[in-house]
Chain A
Amino acid sequence: MLDRLSHHTLLRHLLLTLVAGAALVALTYGLSPYRSYQLATGAAYLCATAGLTLLVGLSGQLSLGHGALMAVGAYACALTSAELGDAGTTGPLLLLLPLAAAVVVTAAVGGVVGLAGARLHGPYLPELTLTLTIVVPSITTTFADRLGGDQGLSVLVEPAPAGLGATFPLERWQAWIACGAALLTMFLLANLVHSRFGREVRAVRDDEVAARLAGIDVARTKVLVFVVSAATAGLGGGLLAVLTQAVSPGGFSLAFSLFLLMAVVIGGIGRLAGAVWGALLLVVLPDLTTSLADRVGSSPALAERLDGNLSLLVFGVVLIVVTIAFPQGIQGLLSSAAARLPRPSRPGPSPSSPTRSSPSRPTSTSSESIDV
């Protein structure tokens, strides 16, 4: 049974997803509403970081604009929910349709950016995506009549289903929604990574000429990865909009886009498990630094200056330390630590043991495959 399971990627991922889902549901019952809200926020971030780590680590395309793509998703979600609200829609549709719209619209935007990006090399794709972080907030203030300007839009959110009981905290319900979406994202991405498409993406990253010679459509592959990555960012943005019941351009600044990228690098680039660490950092670090600033800031004026800037500073320092000390990120460090543990159940290391039908690991050192 175990043997069969470890051979069957889909089944293994499904099992892992279900176990994680059950664990998370159990977990939320032990959490205060505030922690539930943080968990939900982390899950929303996870959708974006998972897609971003796939884009950067697996396909080698660097995006500095994922925060802006999340904004696209958040606004798509808000506008759809407003339309549905006007039309008198209630129930699960009022939640699911806006989130679906967030995914579809952001995927479309990602397609356009990806089409342009697939023609670009070197620093030009990051620069293109960087413009997104400038353009998207400007659009919201230019079309303020429709998009609410700096004030943003509010999002119609229904309370937790009555079936869960009157005292059921909204935050726990939100955590369920966000974690469900994040698990679905992780499940789909994990399978994508282990599919034929995932191997093609890695081939394109390692050597475009070789990939082309092997019959892979390089441009199509690159664009598709960008679309997938944008779709997950859109889902993350839509979830954030649902969680806060509002969306405004201030939440998706350039700094936020950079935070996303930093989180992915610190977590372990190209690894889905690393994206989990990254999302966790995104939630925890700003909180930690704020309380740190409160304690360190001897004068209120200093505390005011530190507030907001300190998290940028701490993130930067952590990024430098991680890049120098363990370039594979937190998850890389964990896996290498796990690899050093004694393995009683194995008859000893045999690097040349016959491979099974599953894909072999890439050869170059920089091309760590995706772990789950």
Chain B
Amino acid sequence: MSSPMPRLRRSLTAIASLSLVGSLTACGGGGDSAASAPGVTADSILVGTHQPLTGPAAAGYSTISPATKAYFDYVNANGGVHGRKITYTVKDDGYNPANTQKVVRELVLKDKVFAIVNGLGTPTHTGVLDFLKTNKVPDLFVASGSRSWNQPEKYPTTFGFQADYTTEAKVQATYIEENLDGKKVCFLGQDDDFGQDTLRGLTQVLGEDGVAERQKYVTSNTNVAPQVGKLKAAGCEVVVLATVPGFTALAVGTAARLKFAPQWISTSVGADLATVGAALGDAAPLLEGFLSTNYLPSAFDSDDPWITLFQKINKEHNGDKPFTGNTVYGMTAGYLFVEALQKTGKDLTREGLLETMASGELDGPGLTSPRYSEDDHAGYGGAQMAKVTGTSQDYFGPVYATDDRESTPVKVFDGEATAPPSDGIPSE
């Protein structure tokens, strides 16, 4: 083994195996013929999303993308959009930002999707904004109420969807001012933009001193007893939650164990009765009187024409799964995307789609309309309070309209809710 040749041979072997590895990887590569719009053919449109199908936020949220897909299937079964059928590729990121990085690159670089639709999560989606911008991928209806999605100058291809958390919190704070005046208001929120944006809305209306005790949690630690204990010790009477459903259930359940029963007020994302109730199991009656805000038609309101439509689609294309706020949420995102495609026309390009988005023409299910314009990429611009009574969660009081700016007051919304088209598919 000590003659000079084997060493050289080893070096050469190494070079050979390197190039072998190289050629193996190269096999998977291959360029594509430069199509005008990636993911679009004469009869199909490929779009993708990242969703927490597993992990700490899967409770409830894992049913959103099947609902969106069900709406797309409904449209496909009725001839598609301008003759094109929509294929919706859902990738699981487990609500882990590092996984989101990976799956979104797979969607954009490998699967070559036309757009990312309804990518879910504040911490997860924040990390891919720059990547999507660099690749000029339309990033529509981000499933989170963070204000980050509304930065048209910095992220021209990203559009929000939800009423942002600041907007929801301002509506909640207005309710607190009018109905719970003099009570000690506290806050429990996720330790990221979700929590911070919510707190920001509260303090905009109630003032910096208006929120006494402020606690935060991280999704990687499921013990919230220390935080809830501090809220109890501080004598909180109203606790505003910026929590994902699993942590809403944890907070309510933990508080019950600690004999702590404040008035809970939650943002829409953590308040779906079916989801939180399922997480609480036998303890679901703890949710009696639970307050929250939302901006979409209530899943419990069978008289609403949107709900009738979505229930029908849920039955026909979603295996008649439990119909919850998440179903409404997923289908609404699907509806708005189809509406954007319809209005962009037969000649579909990424630029054209973004122009439609910014045109402000979109108007689907919702208590108010989305705010989309050239210089506003935020979603819905208002919310209404809802309350849990028995096994129902119903709206009450006025619909309020506002936005995330400190200077914008919270006003009663004077517009009309839009009615769905007769066949449930938006027109051109």
Shortest Cβ distance from B32 into A: residue: A32
The answer on a CB contact under 8 Å between B19 and A250 is no
Shortest Cβ distance from A338 into B: residue: B13
Q: Is the interface of A mostly helix, strand, loop or mixed?
A: helix
Does any Cβ of B come within 8 Å of A37's Cβ?
yes
A-B contact count (CB 8 A): 167
The answer on a CB contact under 8 Å between B127 and A152 is yes
Cβ of B97: which chain A residues have Cβ within 8 Å of it? 150-152, 246, 248, 250-251
The answer on a CB contact under 8 Å between B13 and A246 is no
Question: Smallest CB–CB gap between A155 and chain B, Å?
Answer: 9
Cβ of A338: which chain B residues have Cβ within 8 Å of it? 9-10, 13
* Complexed CA–CA distance, A334 and B62 (Å): 45
The answer on a CB contact under 8 Å between A150 and B5 is no
Does any Cβ of B come within 8 Å of A351's Cβ?
yes
Question: Smallest CB–CB gap between B124 and chain A, Å?
Answer: 8
Does any Cβ of B come within 8 Å of A110's Cβ?
no
Q: Please tell me which stretch of B216-224, B303-311, B396-404 contacts chain A, meaning at least 4 of its Cβ atoms lie within 8 angstroms of it.
A: B216-224
In-complex Cβ contact of A361 among B1, B3, B30 (8 A): B1
Cβ of B127: which chain A residues have Cβ within 8 Å of it? 151-152, 154, 244-246, 248
Mask: chain B, 229-242; 1 = CB below 8 Å from A; 0 = not: 00000000000000
The answer on a CB contact under 8 Å between A151 and B98 is no
Q: Please tell me which stretch of A20-28, A58-66, A208-216 contacts chain B, meaning at least 4 of its Cβ atoms lie within 8 angstroms of it.
A: A20-28
* Complexed CA–CA distance, A163 and B17 (Å): 32
Does any Cβ of B come within 8 Å of A146's Cβ?
no
Cβ of A345: which chain B residues have Cβ within 8 Å of it? 5
Q: Which of A16, A39, A248, A372 is packed against the most chain B CB atoms within 10 Å?
A: A248
Chain B interface residue count, Cβ-Cβ cutoff 8 angstroms: 56
The answer on a CB contact under 8 Å between B2 and A356 is yes
Interface size class of A (residues with CB under 8 A): 35 or more
Cβ of B110: which chain A residues have Cβ within 8 Å of it? 32, 34
The answer on a CB contact under 8 Å between A308 and B19 is no
The answer on a CB contact under 8 Å between A245 and B131 is yes
The answer on a CB contact under 8 Å between B26 and A144 is no
Mask: chain B, 1-37; 1 = CB below 8 Å from A; 0 = not: 1111101111101110111011001101111100000
Cβ of A371: which chain B residues have Cβ within 8 Å of it? 10, 14
Shortest Cβ distance from B93 into A: residue: A250
In-complex Cβ contact of B11 among A12, A39, A335, A360 (8 A): A12
Q: Which A residues between 345 and 372 are near B, CB-CB below 8 angstroms?
A: 345-346, 350-351, 353-356, 358, 360-361, 371-372
With A3-B4, A16-B14 known as contacts, the answer to whether A32 contacts B30 (CB < 8 A) is yes
* Complexed CA–CA distance, A37 and B96 (Å): 20
Does any Cβ of B come within 8 Å of A159's Cβ?
yes
* Complexed CA–CA distance, A5 and B5 (Å): 10
**Interface residues, chain B, CB within 8 Å of chain A?**
1-5, 7-11, 13-15, 17-19, 21-22, 25-26, 28-32, 53-54, 62, 66, 92, 94, 96-99, 101, 105-106, 109-110, 122-123, 126-128, 130-131, 134, 191-193, 216, 218-221
Q: Could you pull out 7 A-B pairs where Cβ atoms are within 8 angstroms?
A: A2-B8, A35-B28, A39-B25, A141-B221, A273-B17, A308-B92, A308-B94
7 shortest interchain CB distances as A-B pairs: A251-B98, A151-B123, A34-B109, A250-B96, A246-B127, A248-B97, A6-B4
What 9 new A-B contacts, CB under 8 Å, besides A141-B191, A355-B2?
A32-B28, A34-B109, A38-B25, A149-B191, A251-B101, A300-B66, A338-B10, A354-B2, A361-B2
